[in-house]
Amino acid sequence: MPSARELVKKFSDLKTLPHVAIKVTQMINSESTTMQNFEEVIKLDPILVMRLLKLVNSPFFGLANKVDSISKAVVFIGMKNLRNLVAVEALRDLFNSREDGENFSRRNLWMHSATVAILTQMISKRIFGMEDENIFLAGIIHDIGLIVEDQLVGDLLRKACALTVSTQKPLIETENELIETNHCKVGSLLCSEWNLPEEVLGAIRFHHSFDKENSIPSVISILQIAEYIAEKMKYGALSGYVSPLPVYLVPHVKERMTDYKILLKTLPDEMAKAKDLYESPED
């Protein structure tokens, strides 16, 4: 059975992700990168330019003035937000290919990832008063390892998903049993090649490590809360399974339960505003 590193290498060799998206993601963390550098790279993909400008001008960002160039987009929303949009566009097609299964489908996984990303932003801002673009990125990309597994060992992944639903074991346990690795390891290895921030890599790697305590707030603790809420609201990656809320987060959620209930009432409006962000090409 291939290791997590071997799966990532095979996936990367398939050149499944657009070169432009990978390049932009890597450029974000370089202090020498200028807006002109971004524009020169992104304009090589006209479809990406069109989609990004549509998203920047959508209700999700609520900008007062129309943005009609990549350089203006960077000024208005910042380089990290631009990176997040590019990541969304790069992943969108991956999540919509391949046939659906009984417990797992890429389409459901895309809706799960988009819902988690929106919830991470809402929780970050409204519960903790934080502004951190890395939290959204962690939300949209946290399950990318499932795409790698589906692409390369899809039959085994579907067996692991079915076993998780039937036994209610954590998915990473059934993955480890049948695939001998799991999507958290695979996803963090893949994203490390894109030079993503360490806190994002850590969130991807450990978001299903429920016995590990993390600081509150942090990217990983917010991601775990968002994923639990999304799954309870039936926006789960798997049909018929809800990951448990880590024990260390239970007192916090109980203490702020009123705030979380208010947040959930506004989630449909936030999802509607973000429709252009998560809507798939097939919709």
30/197 Cα distance (integer angstroms): 11
Residue 32 in any domain: the answer is: no
Q: Which pLDDT does position 247 carry in this prediction?
A: 96
Question: What pLDDT is attached to residue 139?
Answer: 93
pLDDT value at residue 88: 78
Number of domains forming the structure of the chain: 1
**Model confidence pLDDT, tens digit, residues 74-86:** 777 777 777 777 7
State which residues of the chain have pLDDT below 50.
281, 283
Question: In this predicted structure, what is the pLDDT of residue 205?
Answer: 97
The CA dihedral of 151, 11, 234, 114, to the nearest 10 degrees, is -140
Q: Do the beta carbons of residue 62 and residue 270 sit within 8 Å?
A: no
In a domain, 263, yes or no: yes
Alpha-carbon distance of 161 to 102, in angstroms, equals 9
Q: Is residue 265 part of a domain?
A: yes
pLDDT attached to residue 276: 67
What CATH number has the domain bearing residue 213? 1.10.3210.10
d(CA 251, CA 255): 6
Residue 26 lies in a domain: no
**Which residues constitute the domain of residue 241?**
4-16+100-278
Q: What's the confidence (pLDDT) of residue 281? A: 47
CA distances from 67 to 71, 83, 89 (A): 9, 17, 18
What per-residue confidence (pLDDT) applies to 116?
95
* pLDDT tens track for 113-169: 989 999 999 999 999 999 887 898 899 899 999 999 999 999 999 999 999 999 999
**pLDDT for the residue 84:** 78
Q: Are 184 and 144 in contact (CB under 8 A)?
A: no
pTM of the model as a whole? 0.84
14, 150 Cβ separation under 8 angstroms: no
In a domain, 126, yes or no: yes
User: Is residue 81 in a domain?
Assistant: no
Assigned domain for 42 exists = no
* Residue 41 resides in a domain: no
Task: Give every CB contact of residue 92 below 8 A, 6+ residues apart in sequence.
Answer: 110, 280, 281
State the pLDDT at residue 134: 87
